[in-house]
A and B are shown apart, each in its own frame.
Chain A
Amino acid sequence: MTPVGTVAWLTFREARRRRTAVAALVLGVMFLALFITVFSFVTREIAAEVRREGPGAAPVEFAYTILLLAGFYVVHVLAVMLTIFSTAGALAGEISTHVIQTVATKPLRRGEILLGKWLGHGAMLALYIAFLGGGLWLGVRLIAGFAAPGAWTALLLVILEALVLLTVSLILGTRLSTVATGVLLVLLYGLTFAGGWIGQIGNVLQSPSAMRIGQVAAHVLPVETLWRLAAYLMQPPLLAALPVSPFTGGAPPDDGIVGYAAVYVLVGLGIAMWSFERRDL
């Protein structure tokens, strides 16, 4: 195994040993069970209504999509929180406890340590998001026989959100403590979240300055915007008519944001490596 692979594998082993993996899986299963229970109740009610009133009585697909979208929204929020809390200490913690010293004196570059951590945490987060989102999708599919359009693309976008946050977390972690990294990430996310909403409202009110704030927020930390694009891809046509909701906005987000986020991650990784190479341990 390459040094990068060894470091990446170590993050998986850590998650297993510290039982965070088990805890996350148990909670994930509970969340899926809750969703599936709610979903089967709603499906049963809709089916009863269709039986009573005849087909076309209820907007069946609209209801399914909205429920799945709500479920995905939870996955998005969990992905953001989980990324912040599980990765803030990935580098900062090992630097402050000096654990890094025996690793960084081995025949590997510091950049390789960082890349290994990024890959390990990234893969773990991606798997977890796929497990939650895939579980939701499968539940809807099995219970209602409904295959939501755009769900898989949306899931990939949520994974990309996590990777963006993970990258910023590692940049901060090369210089700050675990707590400072976590706090700064939460604040940064909160600010760009608010900025995104201001942009949304600006869209409705046609206020250029508010729209610009939204633009800036989307570029400072392209997390919330990725979610809006994901939601836009999944939303039923009826919902698109609503001006503002947690799931969507009047105007579809520019899908150039995906390319931007990808470049953001690559450049961010470069910055993190550069910063880590240059610090004293």
Chain B
Amino acid sequence: MSTVPPADAAIETHGLRKSYGRRAAVADLSLRVPRGEVFAFLGPNGAGKSTAVKMLLDLVRPDAGSALLLGRPPSDAGVRRRIGFLPEHFRFHEWLRADEFLDLHARLYGLDAARRRRRIPELLERVGLLESARKPLDAFSKGMLQRIGLAQALLPEPELLFLDEPTSALDPFGRILVRELIRDLRAAGTTVFLNSHLLSEVEATADRACFIRDGVVLRTVGLRELDAGLVHVEARIAGGGPGLVDDLRRIAPDVRVTAPAGPAGDVAGDRWLELSVPREDLLPAIAERIVASGARLYALTPRRLSLEELFVEIVGRDEGR
């Protein structure tokens, strides 16, 4: 059984921009996240991830551009009722007890008494804090605070959930919990916007990852499909016309040619081509073009890049931010 998803995306932005003084935190952010997707936002520190999330949630007002959440502007109260948010700085009214804290936020969401009574214990149990329900938050560890913050974000059974570094304070148990939670939410059709620099977490949960740096989207790659956008190809060839590289660039824009290999015994005039392709099924096309160009093909080795390698490749070198 499949339902047709609503035409509007969960998140849609056009040219969002925000500068602090002369520095652009987010330079030009255009995104489209379809409903039901787990979408990861990746980038080095200071890339503008948190500012972008804050703009999407109307905490920060953009200098230019527009954003729609579930088809409505982020300031719309009706939309906010359907959105959950766990901020990066999970600081709360720490003089409240855990159950009171959830009750407060449930009231702010406008949940009626019956739903609050049902939802609060349910979520306390879900995040493993049922036994601490009557403890004040100022007695909570950081990890417990992050868990209760997560419960808070889930109160309205959101259609769209923003998680900004949701596991930064969590131990391995907590991380597993978050991972399972994201999977459950995904199965239930919730859209999750995951802001994280823990790549393993993203790899395990996200459908797509968007790489950003200096406030600009560098690339968005799919992580779910088997041939998910992470294929790095090395080809060893000899000969071939001068048009080969240009021809290959039509399939993979980042073709690199390296100098002939050194060890003796190599075929004279051979060279290495390195390129990345978004899908594995493009490999035969690459082989065909190489052969068609008159070159001899000695090796064509696809290698799946880890998300970490991809991160470095897309985002570039560490500049000690």
Which residues of A approach B to under 8 Å, CB–CB? Answer: 1, 3, 6, 10, 13-14, 17-18, 97-99, 101-109, 278, 280-281
Given the complex, which residues of A lie within 8 Å of B59, measured CB to CB?
101, 104-105, 280-281
Q: Are A3 and B87 in contact (CB under 8 A)?
A: no
Query: Is residue B77 contacting chain A, with contact meaning CB distance below 8 A?
Result: yes
**Chain A, Cβ-Cβ closest to B55:** A280
Q: Are B107 and A6 in contact (CB under 8 A)?
A: yes
Given the complex, which residues of B lie within 8 Å of A278, measured CB to CB?
61
A14 and B100 alpha carbons, distance in the complex (Å): 12
Q: Are B107 and A105 in contact (CB under 8 A)?
A: no
Contact of B83 among A103, A105, A109, A280 (CB under 8 A): A105
Q: Are A102 and B105 in contact (CB under 8 A)?
A: yes
Given the complex, which residues of B lie within 8 Å of A281, measured CB to CB?
54, 59-60
Q: Are B85 and A102 in contact (CB under 8 A)?
A: yes
A101 and B84 alpha carbons, distance in the complex (Å): 12
**Chain A, Cβ-Cβ closest to B94:** A99
A98 and B149 alpha carbons, distance in the complex (Å): 13
Given A105-B83, A107-B77, A278-B61, A98 contacting B93 (CB threshold 8 A)? no
Determine how close the nearest CB of chain A comes to the CB of B111; give it in whole angstroms. Answer: 11
A6 and B61 alpha carbons, distance in the complex (Å): 26
From B60, B89, B93, name the one whose CB has the most chain A CB atoms within 10 angstroms: B93
Given A6-B104, A98-B89, A105-B83, A18 contacting B109 (CB threshold 8 A)? no
From A14, A106, A278, A280, name the one whose CB has the most chain B CB atoms within 10 angstroms: A106
A104 and B109 alpha carbons, distance in the complex (Å): 11
A50 and B104 alpha carbons, distance in the complex (Å): 61
Contact of A6 among B81, B91, B108, B152 (CB under 8 A): B108
A108 and B81 alpha carbons, distance in the complex (Å): 9
Q: Are B83 and A101 in contact (CB under 8 A)?
A: no
Q: Are A1 and B54 in contact (CB under 8 A)?
A: no
**Chain B, Cβ-Cβ closest to A15:** B95
| Given A13-B100, A104-B59, 15 other A-B residues pairs in contact with their CB atoms under 8 A | A10-B93, A17-B95, A17-B96, A97-B91, A99-B93, A101-B85, A101-B87, A102-B85, A102-B87, A102-B152, A105-B59, A106-B108, A107-B109, A108-B77, A278-B61
Given the complex, which residues of A lie within 8 Å of B54, measured CB to CB?
280-281
Q: Are A98 and B91 in contact (CB under 8 A)?
A: yes
Determine how close the nearest CB of chain B comes to the CB of A143; give it in whole angstroms. Answer: 39
For this complex, 8 residue pairs linking A to B, each with C-beta atoms less than 8 Å apart, are: A6-B107, A6-B108, A14-B93, A14-B95, A101-B59, A102-B85, A104-B59, A281-B60
A109 and B108 alpha carbons, distance in the complex (Å): 11
Given the complex, which residues of A lie within 8 Å of B83, measured CB to CB?
105
A269 and B16 alpha carbons, distance in the complex (Å): 31
Determine how close the nearest CB of chain B comes to the CB of A130; give it in whole angstroms. Answer: 25
Q: Are B92 and A107 in contact (CB under 8 A)?
A: no
Q: Are A13 and B77 in contact (CB under 8 A)?
A: no
Q: Are B109 and A106 in contact (CB under 8 A)?
A: yes
A107 and B72 alpha carbons, distance in the complex (Å): 13
